[in-house]
Amino acid sequence: MIKNFLKNKFNSKIFFFFLTLFFLFTASLYAKKLDLLNIKNWVLIGENKRGEKLFYEKNSLKNYPELKLSLTLLYLPSDEIAQRCEEYWMNWFLMNEYREVMWSGIPKEEKAKCKSLKYGIYTWQIDCKKRNFREMDFVWYNNKGTPVYTRKNVGISFLFIPEDLVKTLFDKFCKH
Q: Whole-model pTM?
A: 0.70
pLDDT of residue 34: 45
Domain limits at 26? 1-39
pLDDT of residue 143: 87
Pairing state of beta strands 62-64 and 68-76?
antiparallel
Half-sphere exposure of 70 (CA within 13 A, CB side): 12
Q: Are residues 15 and 69 in the same domain?
A: no
Q: What is the pLDDT of residues 20-55, one digit of tens each?
A: 444 444 444 444 444 555 556 899 999 999 999 999
Q: Are residues 55 and 135 in the same domain?
A: yes
pLDDT of residue 103: 56
> How many separate domains does the chain show?
2
pLDDT of residue 165: 94
- Residues (pLDDT < 50) of the chain are 16-34
Q: Are residues 105 and 150 in the same domain?
A: yes
Q: Are residues 27 and 48 in the same domain?
A: no
Q: Are residues 35 and 66 in the same domain?
A: no
What Rg do the C-alpha atoms of the chain give, in angstroms? 21
pLDDT of residue 2: 54
pLDDT of residue 97: 62
